[in-house]
Amino acid sequence: MKTNNSPFRVTITFFISILSIYGLPNLVSAQTNSDDQSILNAARALGVVKNIPRTAPAQQQAYTPRTQAQPAANTVKPDPYAAKRQQILRQNAARRKAHQQRIQQAQRQKYQKANLQRTQQQNSQHNLWNRVYQGFRFRDYKHQPLVKKYTREFSRSPQRIQQLADRSSDYLFMVVNELNRRRMPTELALLPFVESAYKNSAFSHAGAAGMWQFIPATGRRYGLKQTRSYDARLDSHQATRAALDYLQKLNRQFKGDWLLALAAYNCGEYRVEREIAKNRSRGKRTDYWSLDLPRETRQYVPRLLAFKEIYRNPGAYQVRLKGIPNSPALARINVNKPVNLRKAAARAGLPADKLLALNSGYLHGITTPRFSNQITLPRRYAGRLHKAIQSLPPAKDVHNVSARGYAKYSRGKRSKFRYHKVRRGDNLFQIARKHGTTVKRIKRLNKMRSSKIWPGKRLIIAKSSRRSYS
């Protein structure tokens, strides 16, 4: 049989022979596309590539193209730390989330605190009681038996509590301002409730006078002038300044213990020091609640703490406390001439009793510039009163004239003694102060063993007077 050796066939035969020599039939067999497979089949039919073995279908390996998305199975090794790495990533994400939550919570709290402070500041601008509450520094003693007793006693009459608050509205702003300026506890603004019920003209049987109840000796020690026509203990501003000076001194003396300072304010610092020394020598405690103090002093501090508890929580004791504007209710103006306060009040359209009550220090209702050149008046009447005072002529100096209403002059026969007829509400201290004498002297002249007096009684005031009193 004759073979047809065309040039095309010779070329194909030569190319296949070269591939078989260099061991590339495996590569050719791996290419499973249809074109190469047809060429190999044609070569085998011609008997040219008899040496290329035909592999069994079961032994042939399938070709999988390599792509970036699906790498070859034999080149990727399993990562033994993959699970641990994923766990760490999850933990880090949880920590970052918790940290962000903490930051947001802190920002919310800061914003709420700022809003609360702003609200309190706005409220304090409208209600003075808020300033009082914010300045409380004493410990909570509401569980002490005496404090509980007086709290129950005071809370039985809510109208009385409100009446005291209304009476303090004229002076409370001045007192709280001075306490804040000195950085003192605002519980001390409640002390006049115990001392005088915030009455500027209050007197006690022991000779104490004014809103802060100064006795004459202590008042003079702290610069409060006392004459026949002027008593600075009855001047609310002067007395407040002196009282806070005294309380600061007592607080330093008792090493910051305000309860001991208040007890000393009532019964004297020497009595408190003696009781402290007595307890210390016996190995007992030296705090206020452990001292053997006078009965009045033992009741004094619990009363103040009871007022604090009621005014701090008025709703708990059925007290409907009215707000006090956080603005000064009073003003002070200079007066450099004697002025009749009744006439000034009438000319300005102000009730005379109101102006006299605010200026109780002028004992005859006439200013005395030689002792004090200031008067206290309601702020809303300041302009009108100032004009009225400027238009009034100087009044007669009453420094050496007895108080009007307490004595009547007569031009009769000269008397050996000077008398005073007791009226309702009088006491020996008031009478002695009005007539420029002392309680001890009046009792000696009248041979009195006690200080009790009654309306209608005629008391001998002094001897050898040029005029007789009836």
Residue 75 phi, psi dihedral angles, 5° rounding: -105, -15
| Gap between the Cα atoms of 346 and 348, Å rounded | 5
Measured between alpha carbons, how far is 307 from 99 in angstroms, rounded to an integer?
48
Catalytic residue, chosen from 195, 269, 273, 309, is 195
**Gap between the Cα atoms of 187 and 179, Å rounded:** 9
- For CA atoms 158, 162, 167, 172, the dihedral sign is positive
Cα separation, 211 vs 175, in Å, equals 11
Torsional class of 53: left (φ above 0), alpha (ψ -120 to 50), beta (otherwise):
beta
The answer for 425, left when phi > 0, alpha when psi is -120 to 50, beta otherwise, is left
Give the Cα separation of 224 and 230 in Å (integer): 10
Number of H helices, E strands in the chain: 19, 6
195 classed as catalytic: yes
Q: From CA 94, how far away is CA 97, in angstroms rounded? A: 5
Cα separations in angstroms, 144 against 140, 152, 296, 304, 440: 9, 12, 17, 13, 40
Q: For residue 57, how many other CB atoms are within 10 A of its CB?
A: 6
Confirm if 339 and 395 have CB atoms less than 8 A apart.
Answer: yes
- 98: which DSSP letter? H
> Partners of 459 in the beta sheet?
420
Task: Determine contact, residues 224/161, Cβ cutoff 8 Å.
Answer: no
Distance in angstroms (rounded) separating the CA atoms of residues 446 and 458: 9
Give me the active site residues, please.
195
